[in-house]
Amino acid sequence: MVVGLVQGVGFRYFVVQRALTLGLDGYVRNDSTGDVEVVAQGTHSALEQLLALLRQGPSAAQVHDVQTTWRQPTEHVSGFHIRW
C-alpha cells in the first residue's frame, strides 16, 4: 500500500509504466482510504526496483510510506494494468 498524496496525481499510470518496463505482472488501484494498492509479481530484483520507484512516485505525488507484504502469488495475473 502506498500512503500519502497519491491519488489524482497520475500515480497509477506511473506505476503501470514502471512495472511494465521492469517486466512485472500485476495491478494497481485506488483504495477508498486515499491510498494506492499495488500488487506485483516478478523477480525479486525487479520487485525491489519497483519498491524504490514507489517510494519516489511521480513529481506531483507526496509518498509518506510504502507498506510491503511479501508472499506467494494467490492468482495468476498477466500484464500490468489499472483495476477499477
- 76's grid cell: 495468476
From the list 30, 55, 71, 83, the catalytic residue is 30
Residue 30 designated active-site: yes
Residue 29 designated active-site: no
Give the 3-state secondary structure of residue 20.
helix
| DSSP assignment string, 28-81 | EEE-TTS-EEEEEES-HHHHHHHHHHHHH--TT-EEEEE-------SS---SEE
Residue 47 sits at the vertex; the CA angle it makes with 15 and 13, to the nearest 5 degrees, is 5
Which residues are known to be catalytic? 12, 30
